Amino acid sequence: MKLLEGVIVAHTTPFNNHDQVNHDEIKKYIQFLIKKGVNGLFVCGTTAEAQILSFDERKKILETVLSENKGKMTIVAQCGTINLDGTRDLIKHSQSCGADGAGIVTPYYYLYKQEELFEYYSILAREFQEFPLYLYNIPALTGNNLEPSTVSRLSYEFSNIIGIKDSSGNLTNVSNYLLETRPGFKIFVGYDRAFLSVLLMGAHGTVTGPGGIFPEPFVEVWQAFQNKEYQKAMELQNKLNLISITIGEGNSLAMLKAALKLRGIGNGLMRRPFRSMSEEEMHIFKEKLEKVLQKTGYQL
Protein backbone atom coordinates (compact mmCIF):
# COMPACT_ATOMS: atom_id res chain seq x y z
CA MET A 1 0.00 0.00 0.00
CA LYS A 2 1.17 3.54 -0.78
CA LEU A 3 1.00 6.15 1.96
CA LEU A 4 -0.18 9.73 1.59
CA GLU A 5 2.36 12.50 1.14
CA GLY A 6 2.46 15.92 -0.50
CA VAL A 7 -0.53 17.43 -2.30
CA ILE A 8 -3.67 15.43 -1.60
CA VAL A 9 -6.82 16.63 -3.33
CA ALA A 10 -10.24 16.56 -1.70
CA HIS A 11 -12.37 16.30 -4.83
CA THR A 12 -15.75 17.75 -5.69
CA THR A 13 -18.52 15.47 -6.98
CA PRO A 14 -19.91 16.25 -10.44
CA PHE A 15 -23.66 15.78 -10.96
CA ASN A 16 -25.64 15.72 -14.18
CA ASN A 17 -28.79 17.75 -14.76
CA HIS A 18 -30.85 15.00 -13.08
CA ASP A 19 -28.85 15.13 -9.82
CA GLN A 20 -27.07 11.86 -10.57
CA VAL A 21 -23.32 11.40 -10.07
CA ASN A 22 -21.58 11.95 -13.41
CA HIS A 23 -18.95 9.22 -13.62
CA ASP A 24 -17.67 10.34 -17.02
CA GLU A 25 -16.75 13.70 -15.51
CA ILE A 26 -15.08 11.94 -12.58
CA LYS A 27 -12.86 10.06 -15.04
CA LYS A 28 -12.03 13.30 -16.82
CA TYR A 29 -11.21 14.92 -13.48
CA ILE A 30 -8.89 12.08 -12.43
CA GLN A 31 -6.89 12.47 -15.64
CA PHE A 32 -6.71 16.24 -15.03
CA LEU A 33 -5.26 15.70 -11.53
CA ILE A 34 -2.76 13.09 -12.69
CA LYS A 35 -1.57 15.39 -15.46
CA LYS A 36 -1.09 18.24 -12.97
CA GLY A 37 1.15 16.12 -10.74
CA VAL A 38 -1.13 15.67 -7.73
CA ASN A 39 0.20 13.07 -5.26
CA GLY A 40 -3.03 11.66 -3.87
CA LEU A 41 -6.80 11.82 -3.63
CA PHE A 42 -9.03 11.95 -0.55
CA VAL A 43 -12.20 10.35 -1.90
CA CYS A 44 -15.65 11.36 -0.66
CA GLY A 45 -14.54 13.84 1.95
CA THR A 46 -16.23 17.07 2.98
CA THR A 47 -15.60 18.77 -0.39
CA ALA A 48 -17.31 15.88 -2.20
CA GLU A 49 -20.67 16.56 -0.49
CA ALA A 50 -20.22 13.04 0.86
CA GLN A 51 -22.66 13.37 3.74
CA ILE A 52 -25.49 13.98 1.27
CA LEU A 53 -24.44 11.09 -0.97
CA SER A 54 -25.85 7.61 -0.43
CA PHE A 55 -23.51 4.79 0.59
CA ASP A 56 -24.03 3.24 -2.84
CA GLU A 57 -23.02 6.50 -4.54
CA ARG A 58 -19.92 6.77 -2.37
CA LYS A 59 -18.88 3.21 -3.17
CA LYS A 60 -19.37 3.65 -6.90
CA ILE A 61 -17.40 6.91 -6.90
CA LEU A 62 -14.46 5.13 -5.26
CA GLU A 63 -14.67 2.29 -7.77
CA THR A 64 -14.61 4.75 -10.69
CA VAL A 65 -11.67 6.63 -9.18
CA LEU A 66 -9.63 3.45 -8.67
CA SER A 67 -10.40 2.16 -12.14
CA GLU A 68 -9.36 5.42 -13.80
CA ASN A 69 -6.37 6.14 -11.55
CA LYS A 70 -4.60 2.84 -12.28
CA GLY A 71 -2.23 3.22 -9.33
CA LYS A 72 -0.86 6.64 -10.26
CA MET A 73 -2.09 8.68 -7.26
CA THR A 74 -2.39 7.39 -3.70
CA ILE A 75 -6.11 6.86 -3.04
CA VAL A 76 -7.61 7.11 0.44
CA ALA A 77 -11.38 6.91 0.88
CA GLN A 78 -13.06 8.94 3.62
CA CYS A 79 -15.20 6.30 5.34
CA GLY A 80 -16.31 8.03 8.52
CA THR A 81 -20.05 8.21 9.16
CA ILE A 82 -22.34 9.07 12.04
CA ASN A 83 -22.16 5.51 13.43
CA LEU A 84 -19.79 2.57 13.78
CA ASP A 85 -21.62 0.14 11.49
CA GLY A 86 -21.77 2.60 8.60
CA THR A 87 -18.07 3.34 8.96
CA ARG A 88 -17.26 -0.39 9.07
CA ASP A 89 -19.24 -0.95 5.88
CA LEU A 90 -17.39 1.74 3.94
CA ILE A 91 -13.96 0.65 5.21
CA LYS A 92 -14.64 -2.96 4.21
CA HIS A 93 -15.61 -1.81 0.73
CA SER A 94 -12.56 0.44 0.40
CA GLN A 95 -10.24 -2.36 1.44
CA SER A 96 -11.88 -4.93 -0.83
CA CYS A 97 -11.67 -2.79 -3.95
CA GLY A 98 -8.02 -1.82 -3.52
CA ALA A 99 -7.87 1.65 -1.95
CA ASP A 100 -4.60 2.59 -0.25
CA GLY A 101 -6.30 3.40 3.03
CA ALA A 102 -9.32 4.86 4.77
CA GLY A 103 -9.86 8.28 6.31
CA ILE A 104 -12.20 8.31 9.30
CA VAL A 105 -13.82 11.56 10.34
CA THR A 106 -14.94 11.76 13.95
CA PRO A 107 -18.57 10.80 14.55
CA TYR A 108 -20.72 13.92 14.40
CA TYR A 109 -23.97 15.56 15.54
CA TYR A 110 -23.64 14.18 19.11
CA LEU A 111 -20.83 15.48 21.29
CA TYR A 112 -18.48 12.75 22.52
CA LYS A 113 -15.91 12.55 25.29
CA GLN A 114 -12.28 11.96 24.33
CA GLU A 115 -12.37 8.46 25.82
CA GLU A 116 -15.39 7.63 23.67
CA LEU A 117 -13.56 8.81 20.55
CA PHE A 118 -10.48 6.83 21.57
CA GLU A 119 -12.56 3.66 21.97
CA TYR A 120 -14.34 4.26 18.65
CA TYR A 121 -11.08 4.45 16.72
CA SER A 122 -9.59 1.57 18.73
CA ILE A 123 -12.42 -0.74 17.69
CA LEU A 124 -11.86 0.10 14.03
CA ALA A 125 -8.07 -0.19 14.28
CA ARG A 126 -8.38 -3.69 15.78
CA GLU A 127 -10.89 -4.80 13.14
CA PHE A 128 -8.83 -3.52 10.20
CA GLN A 129 -5.29 -4.27 11.38
CA GLU A 130 -3.92 -4.80 7.85
CA PHE A 131 -5.38 -1.59 6.39
CA PRO A 132 -3.89 1.92 6.76
CA LEU A 133 -6.24 4.27 8.63
CA TYR A 134 -6.09 8.06 8.84
CA LEU A 135 -7.87 10.09 11.52
CA TYR A 136 -9.81 13.12 10.29
CA ASN A 137 -10.38 16.10 12.59
CA ILE A 138 -12.77 18.85 11.46
CA PRO A 139 -14.44 20.08 14.67
CA ALA A 140 -16.22 23.05 13.09
CA LEU A 141 -18.46 20.60 11.21
CA THR A 142 -18.51 17.58 13.52
CA GLY A 143 -18.62 19.28 16.91
CA ASN A 144 -15.90 16.92 18.13
CA ASN A 145 -12.21 17.80 18.36
CA LEU A 146 -9.52 15.11 18.48
CA GLU A 147 -7.27 16.35 21.26
CA PRO A 148 -3.51 15.82 20.85
CA SER A 149 -3.47 13.50 23.88
CA THR A 150 -6.05 11.24 22.23
CA VAL A 151 -4.23 11.25 18.90
CA SER A 152 -0.98 10.47 20.71
CA ARG A 153 -2.48 7.42 22.45
CA LEU A 154 -3.91 6.12 19.19
CA SER A 155 -0.63 6.63 17.34
CA TYR A 156 1.36 4.62 19.87
CA GLU A 157 -1.18 1.83 20.39
CA PHE A 158 -2.06 1.14 16.74
CA SER A 159 0.59 0.97 14.03
CA ASN A 160 -2.09 0.84 11.32
CA ILE A 161 -3.31 4.32 12.31
CA ILE A 162 -0.92 6.05 9.94
CA GLY A 163 -1.70 9.73 10.42
CA ILE A 164 -4.27 12.49 10.71
CA LYS A 165 -5.87 15.10 8.51
CA ASP A 166 -6.43 18.17 10.68
CA SER A 167 -8.88 20.80 9.46
CA SER A 168 -9.24 22.60 12.78
CA GLY A 169 -7.31 25.62 11.54
CA ASN A 170 -5.42 25.52 14.83
CA LEU A 171 -1.64 25.46 14.39
CA THR A 172 -1.21 24.67 18.08
CA ASN A 173 -3.09 21.44 17.39
CA VAL A 174 -0.66 20.62 14.59
CA SER A 175 2.36 21.48 16.71
CA ASN A 176 1.15 19.25 19.53
CA TYR A 177 0.33 16.41 17.15
CA LEU A 178 3.90 16.60 15.85
CA LEU A 179 5.35 16.69 19.37
CA GLU A 180 3.20 14.00 20.97
CA THR A 181 2.67 11.30 18.32
CA ARG A 182 4.98 8.40 17.51
CA PRO A 183 7.91 8.95 15.12
CA GLY A 184 6.78 8.72 11.50
CA PHE A 185 3.12 9.49 12.25
CA LYS A 186 1.89 11.55 9.31
CA ILE A 187 0.28 14.97 9.77
CA PHE A 188 -1.74 16.66 7.02
CA VAL A 189 -3.49 20.01 7.19
CA GLY A 190 -6.78 21.02 5.62
CA TYR A 191 -6.22 24.80 5.49
CA ASP A 192 -4.34 26.13 2.51
CA ARG A 193 -2.74 29.26 3.95
CA ALA A 194 -0.73 27.14 6.37
CA PHE A 195 0.60 24.66 3.78
CA LEU A 196 4.22 25.80 3.67
CA SER A 197 4.25 26.77 7.35
CA VAL A 198 3.28 23.29 8.49
CA LEU A 199 5.71 21.64 6.08
CA LEU A 200 8.47 23.65 7.75
CA MET A 201 7.14 22.49 11.14
CA GLY A 202 7.49 18.88 10.03
CA ALA A 203 4.06 18.00 8.60
CA HIS A 204 3.78 15.74 5.57
CA GLY A 205 1.38 17.54 3.24
CA THR A 206 -2.03 19.06 2.69
CA VAL A 207 -5.50 17.76 1.93
CA THR A 208 -7.07 20.54 -0.10
CA GLY A 209 -10.28 21.38 -1.94
CA PRO A 210 -8.95 24.46 -3.78
CA GLY A 211 -5.89 22.41 -4.75
CA GLY A 212 -8.22 20.20 -6.73
CA ILE A 213 -9.28 23.18 -8.83
CA PHE A 214 -5.88 24.84 -9.24
CA PRO A 215 -3.31 22.14 -8.42
CA GLU A 216 -0.47 24.07 -10.05
CA PRO A 217 0.63 26.35 -7.16
CA PHE A 218 0.15 23.58 -4.59
CA VAL A 219 2.33 21.15 -6.54
CA GLU A 220 4.91 23.90 -7.10
CA VAL A 221 5.07 24.75 -3.38
CA TRP A 222 5.55 21.07 -2.57
CA GLN A 223 8.28 20.66 -5.18
CA ALA A 224 10.09 23.82 -4.05
CA PHE A 225 9.95 22.62 -0.45
CA GLN A 226 11.30 19.20 -1.46
CA ASN A 227 14.14 20.93 -3.29
CA LYS A 228 14.83 23.18 -0.26
CA GLU A 229 14.09 26.28 -2.36
CA TYR A 230 12.42 28.04 0.54
CA GLN A 231 12.34 31.58 -0.86
CA LYS A 232 10.70 30.28 -4.02
CA ALA A 233 8.27 28.25 -1.92
CA MET A 234 7.26 31.39 0.03
CA GLU A 235 6.61 33.31 -3.17
CA LEU A 236 4.52 30.46 -4.53
CA GLN A 237 2.63 30.16 -1.23
CA ASN A 238 1.58 33.81 -1.54
CA LYS A 239 0.22 33.13 -5.02
CA LEU A 240 -1.52 30.02 -3.74
CA ASN A 241 -3.16 32.07 -0.99
CA LEU A 242 -4.59 34.60 -3.45
CA ILE A 243 -6.10 31.89 -5.63
CA SER A 244 -7.46 29.88 -2.70
CA ILE A 245 -9.09 32.97 -1.15
CA THR A 246 -10.68 33.90 -4.48
CA ILE A 247 -12.33 30.51 -4.85
CA GLY A 248 -13.54 30.39 -1.25
CA GLU A 249 -10.71 28.56 0.55
CA GLY A 250 -12.84 25.42 0.60
CA ASN A 251 -15.61 27.11 2.59
CA SER A 252 -17.88 27.51 -0.45
CA LEU A 253 -18.34 24.28 -2.37
CA ALA A 254 -20.40 26.14 -4.98
CA MET A 255 -17.42 28.40 -5.71
CA LEU A 256 -15.11 25.41 -6.09
CA LYS A 257 -17.49 23.75 -8.53
CA ALA A 258 -17.96 26.98 -10.45
CA ALA A 259 -14.19 27.39 -10.79
CA LEU A 260 -13.80 23.79 -11.93
CA LYS A 261 -16.52 24.36 -14.53
CA LEU A 262 -14.49 27.31 -15.84
CA ARG A 263 -11.58 24.89 -16.21
CA GLY A 264 -13.73 22.59 -18.34
CA ILE A 265 -14.83 19.95 -15.83
CA GLY A 266 -18.39 19.52 -14.56
CA ASN A 267 -21.37 21.85 -14.79
CA GLY A 268 -21.09 23.55 -11.40
CA LEU A 269 -24.28 22.00 -10.05
CA MET A 270 -24.65 21.38 -6.32
CA ARG A 271 -26.91 18.84 -4.64
CA ARG A 272 -29.74 20.25 -2.55
CA PRO A 273 -30.01 21.71 0.00
CA PHE A 274 -26.91 23.50 -1.39
CA ARG A 275 -27.58 26.19 -4.00
CA SER A 276 -25.63 26.39 -7.25
CA MET A 277 -24.27 29.70 -8.56
CA SER A 278 -26.60 31.73 -10.77
CA GLU A 279 -25.43 32.88 -14.22
CA GLU A 280 -25.02 36.42 -12.90
CA GLU A 281 -22.98 35.22 -9.93
CA MET A 282 -20.87 33.07 -12.25
CA HIS A 283 -20.12 36.07 -14.49
CA ILE A 284 -18.96 38.22 -11.55
CA PHE A 285 -16.96 35.33 -10.13
CA LYS A 286 -15.22 34.64 -13.45
CA GLU A 287 -14.15 38.26 -13.85
CA LYS A 288 -12.70 38.34 -10.34
CA LEU A 289 -10.92 35.02 -10.80
CA GLU A 290 -9.41 36.01 -14.14
CA LYS A 291 -7.89 39.14 -12.56
CA VAL A 292 -6.29 37.09 -9.80
CA LEU A 293 -4.97 34.51 -12.25
CA GLN A 294 -3.46 37.26 -14.39
CA LYS A 295 -1.78 38.70 -11.29
CA THR A 296 -0.38 35.33 -10.20
CA GLY A 297 0.61 34.06 -13.64
CA TYR A 298 -1.79 31.13 -13.91
CA GLN A 299 -4.53 30.40 -16.45
CA LEU A 300 -7.93 28.80 -16.56
Tens digits of pLDDT across the chain (300 residues): 799 999 999 999 999 999 999 999 999 999 999 999 999 999 999 999 999 999 999 999 999 999 999 999 999 999 999 999 999 999 999 999 999 999 999 999 999 999 999 999 999 999 999 999 999 999 999 999 999 999 999 999 999 999 999 999 999 999 999 999 999 999 999 999 999 999 999 999 999 999 999 999 999 999 999 999 999 999 999 999 999 999 999 899 999 999 999 999 999 999 999 999 999 999 999 999 999 999 999 999
The burial class, CB within 10 Å (0-12 / 13-18 / 19+), for 223 is middle
How much is the pLDDT for 245? 98
pLDDT given at position 46: 97
Q: Does 136 participate in catalysis according to the annotation? A: yes
Return all residues near 40 (Cβ < 8 A) that are at least 6 apart: 2, 4, 5, 6, 7, 8, 9, 73, 74, 75, 76, 100, 205
- For residue 142, the 8-state DSSP code is H
Active-site residue, selected from the candidate residues 29, 106, 142, 165:
165
Amino acid in position 252: S
Task: Identify whether 165 is a catalytic site residue.
Answer: yes
CA distance 175 to 171: 6
296 is annotated as an active-site residue: no
pLDDT of residue 1: 72
pLDDT at 250: 87
Beta bridge partners of 259: none
Cβ-Cβ contacts under 8 Å for 20 (sequence gap 6 or more): none
Give the active site residue among 121, 136, 177, 191.
Answer: 136
pLDDT value at position 102? 99
pLDDT of residue 18: 97
Domains of the chain by range and CATH?
6-229 (3.20.20.70)
Which residue in the list 46, 47, 64, 150 is annotated as catalytic? 46
46 flagged as catalytic: yes
